[in-house]
Chains A and B, each alone.
Chain A
Amino acid sequence: MIKLSGVTRKFGRTVALRDVNLKVNEGEFLAVTGESGSGKTTLLQIMAGIDKPTEGKVTVAGTDLTDLSENDLAVFRRRNIGFVFQFFHLIPELTVVENVELPMELVRSRWDKTMKLTKTISFRGVSYRTYPQVVELLDLVGIKNQYFNRLPDELSGGEQQRVAIARALANNPMILLADQPTENLDPKTGLKIAKLFEKVHRELGKTLVIATHSRDIISLASRVVGLEHGQLFERR
């Protein structure tokens, strides 16, 4: 699914990644561990096509990312990659439902018959029509109905991260990448989010790559790799 061969990423003099070779199979749940500054975030961003390697080749879902232009990368990300951030980064002006809808709107064609505005949600006297897929996703990640029409800053951290996971899954991508998704949450909520990732992996069969320090996620992962000073090694 994801193949990195000889990937090196330099920022000026500092080397974030040094000759990384990694192959992630389809349906695998991979945890990437390592100290802060060891290159985890850079590795994930290279996989997502947000960042480009200085040297080496990246192939994701059969597409060679190294040759794509910035525009093509954006189009590639829409369908193939879901990204979850450490600090959630929901769009503060959009409600929960609209946040999940946004990536769907990006890829929806006008003639798509499977996307129909059949679900109506109402909140504080305002009703809003949305796609059943949005409601299904929010149900899957465990967001209660009364939160659907709220702005992100009215939710707790754990709930925001759930919405962020739903947003990452919006276009049914094959690959879900998460950059320290539980590090900004308390241990109990962190465990719940870890279990949610495991559920997504089990029920939807997504390929999951999570950069983390969390023992919960590491114990749930099917494979663990470590990063030290930009060099990759297998841990389990």
Chain B
Amino acid sequence: MTKTGFILSLARRSLFRRSLKSSLVVISIAVGTGFLVALDIVLTISVLLESYVSPFLLICSAGMLFSGGSLIYALVWSSVKEDRFNIAVLKTVGCTKRQILSVFLLQGLALGFTGALVGVTFGYNLLVQYGAYHWYKGFWTEGRVYSPFSSLIFLGVICYALVISYFPASVGTETSIRDLLGRQAPRNRVFLKNLELRNPLIGYSLRHIMRNQRDYATLLASVALPMFVFVFSNIFYHSAPLLQSLESYVIARLALIAAVSSGAICILGFYSLWSDICRKRRAEFAVLKTLGFSRKQVLLSTVVESALLLGGSFVSAWVFSLAAIVVIPLPTGFSIWVSVISRSLMFSMLLLLILLYIAVSEPLKAMQITVSKALDRIFIEEEW
């Protein structure tokens, strides 16, 4: 096999092994790009829609693109961690840093390309499908939908995916062979200065978060960003019927697409990242049990971690959505606002409940295997 062929096959295998994460990245990037293209169309035929439509499209597309970015980061980072033995082997046989880097950049490129391609097509169809283009300068026309910057958006999204995947990939290439072959994955050596929290559950979970910052930061971003888009588009969806404008139909459809896709990405993204974390901690759970932690205590310490993450993302999603709504001049009264906010709150609570269910069920699943099996070296290494 040629060198290029080898690099290509490594990248492809790595992507297909994490098919759930890869497809989430593609969906997230595609929706983000689609909304950006739709925004471009709206701006080109400027009188088409009311003034709050373009900020809505901009915020949703930014949210989805950033959450796609954090998922790319998570995906490349987990592939660096799990393929560290492969990286070490490649280094030992004399691959240059650039060649190893290209294995990971290719993954970013493939995801960015697919997402952008689907996204641009989707963006063109977004407004066409819902009849927006009929409403042009106050007349029903058959005017063409046209996005002058779509090719630029296409290229920009691909570059964005490449840049994001560069950061975790560079950690892999910069780590020495000795460290790569070590028993532990590369981890942040950050110490909590004078953390006097000695509670075995909370102190332990906090240390766990602080010393695995990269894992938990990507987890937080991949939950908080889609959750923000979910809350934001929910508010729009519920206020659309009250707008009493001809575009409310379009707004409702756009908001529905944003809400459904961001909700799905939030749930599935959290599921895939959190189950990764829990699966890798099986041996640790077994050790804690041997030290005399009861099942409930082990579960509680992980729930503390996830509750911090989920609570933080829920609160920040609401704060940012409300701030964004205040900035955009939506024409509604106070009583209407109360009903809109309460309905959106209900839906976001539902989302939070599903996330909490995952937060509890995954560590429980990880604790189901017996202590002796969890501590079996061969079993642990197979899991890597």
Q: Interface on A for B, CB 8 Å cutoff?
A: 41-42, 45, 48, 50-51, 70-71, 74-79, 83, 85-87, 89, 91-95, 98, 101-103, 105-107, 117, 124, 126-129, 149, 151-153, 167
Tell me if A91 and B292 are in contact (CB < 8 A): no
Across the interface, do A103 and B283 meet the contact criterion of CB distance under 8 Å?
Answer: no
Docked-complex contact A126 and B293, CB < 8 angstroms: no
Query: Chain B contacts of A95 at CB under 8 A?
Result: 191
B311 on the interface (CB 8 Å rule)?
no
In the complex the two chains form, what is the Cα distance from A117 to B194 in whole Å? 12
Give every chain B residue within 8 A of A89 (Cβ-Cβ).
283, 287, 375
Stretch at the interface among B20-28, B66-74, B145-153, B181-189: B181-189
Determine how close the nearest CB of chain B comes to the CB of A73; give it in whole angstroms: 9
List residues of chain A with CB within 8 A of the CB of B189: 151
Q: CA–CA, A128 to B291, complex, Å?
A: 23
A153 near B183: Cβ-Cβ < 8 Å: yes
- The residues of B that contact A152 with a CB separation of less than 8 Å are 184
User: Which residue from chain A places its CB closest to the CB of B195 in the assembled complex?
Assistant: A128
CA distance A83 to B295 in the complex (A): 18
Q: CB distance B204 to A71 under 8 Å?
A: no
B295–A93 contact, CB under 8 A? Answer: no
A91 contact from B199, B284, B297, Cβ within 8 A: B284
| Chain B residues near A75 (CB-CB < 8 A) | 292, 294
- Give chain A nearest CB distance to B189 CB in angstroms: 7
User: Are B198 and A105 interface neighbours, CB within 8 A?
Assistant: yes
Question: Which B residues are CB-close (under 8 A) to A106?
Answer: 200, 291-293
Q: Which residue from A79, A83, A151 sits with its C-beta under 8 Å from B290?
A: A83
B292 touching A77, Cβ below 8 Å: yes
A-B CB contact pairs (8 Å), 6 listed: A71-B294, A102-B291, A106-B200, A117-B196, A129-B194, A153-B183
A89 to B371, CA, bound (A): 12
Contacts of B184 in A (CB 8 A): 92, 152-153
Cβ contacts under 8 Å, B295 to chain A: 70-71, 74
Q: Is B343 an interface residue (CB 8 A)?
A: no
B141 within 8 A of partner (CB): no
A contact residues around B91 at 8 Å (CB): none
Inter-subunit contact B191/A93 (CB<8 Å): no
- Residue in contact with A93 in the complex, picked from B212, B294, B371, CB distance below 8 Å: B212
Within 8 A of A (CB), among B288-338: 288-297
Known: A75-B294, A106-B291, A126-B193. 6 other contacts (CB 8 A): A45-B371, A71-B294, A89-B287, A92-B184, A98-B207, A167-B291
- Size of the B side of the interface (Cβ < 8 Å), in residues, is 36
Does B372 have its Cβ within 8 Å of any Cβ on chain A? yes
Contact between A129 and B196 (Cβ–Cβ < 8 Å)?
yes
Across the interface, name the chain A residue whose C-beta is closest to B284. A91
Identity of the chain B residue whose Cβ is nearest the Cβ of A157 in the assembled complex: B183
How far, in angstroms, from A134 to B288 measured CA to CA in the complex? Answer: 18
Q: Is the Cβ of B291 less than 8 Å from the Cβ of A51? A: no
A16 to chain B, nearest CB (A): 10
CA distance A15 to B205 in the complex (A): 39
In the complex, which of the residues A87, A127, A149 contacts B375, with contact meaning CB atoms closer than 8 Å? A87
Partner of A102, one of B204, B283, B375: B204
Q: How far is the CB of A1 from chain B (nearest CB, A)?
A: 18
B370 at the A/B interface (Cβ < 8 Å)? yes
The answer on a CB contact under 8 Å between B291 and A92 is: no
In Å, the complex CA distance between A119 and B289 comes to 28
Query: Of A41, A129, A153, which is in contact with the most chain B CB atoms at under 10 Å from its CB?
Result: A153
Q: Give Cα A11–Cα B211 distance, bound, in whole angstroms.
A: 38
Q: In the complex, which of the residues A50, A87, A92, A153 contacts B371, with contact meaning CB atoms closer than 8 Å?
A: A50
Q: Once the chains are docked, how many angstroms separate the CA of A77 from the CA of B288?
A: 11
- Give the interface centre of A41, A101, A128, A149 by most chain B CB atoms within 10 Å: A128
Among B191, B208, B377, residue most surrounded by chain A Cβ atoms (within 10 Å): B191
Q: Which residues of B contact A149 (CB under 8 A)?
A: 191
Does B212 lie within 8 Å of A50, measured CB to CB? no
> Chain B's nearest CB lies how many Å from the CB of A150?
9
List, in ascending order, chain A residues with CB within 8 A of B289's CB.
50, 74
- In Å, the complex CA distance between A107 and B198 comes to 12
Closest B residue to A48 by beta carbon equals B290
Please determine whether B187 and A92 come into contact, CB atoms closer than 8 angstroms. yes
Contacts of B372 in A (CB 8 A): 41-42, 45, 50-51
Nearest A residue to B290 via CB reads: A83
Chain B residues with CB below 8 A from A45, complex form: 371-372
As a 0/1 sequence over residues 184 to 228 of chain B, the CB contacts with chain A under 8 angstroms (1 = contact) are 100101010110101110011001100110000000000000000
Q: How far is B191's CA from A149's CA once the two chains are assembled, in angstroms?
A: 9
Cβ–Cβ < 8 Å partners of B182 in chain A: 153
B284 touches A74 (CB 8 A): no
Provide the B7-23 mask, 1 if CB < 8 A to any CB of A, else 0: 00000000000000000
B371 and A77 within 8 A (CB): no
Nearest CB of B to A181, in Å: 14
Please, how many angstroms separate the alpha-carbon atoms of A93 and B295 in the complex? 20
Contact pick for A103, options B211, B291, B375, CB 8 Å:
B291
Would you call B296 and A71 a contact (CB within 8 A)?
yes
Q: In the assembly, what is the distance between CA of A102 and CA of B184, in Å?
A: 20
Smallest beta-carbon distance B84→chain A, Å: 13
A71 to B296 alpha-carbon distance, docked (Å): 8
A110 to B226, CA, bound (A): 42
- In Å, the complex CA distance between A29 and B289 comes to 25
Given the complex, which residues of B lie within 8 Å of A129, measured CB to CB?
194, 196
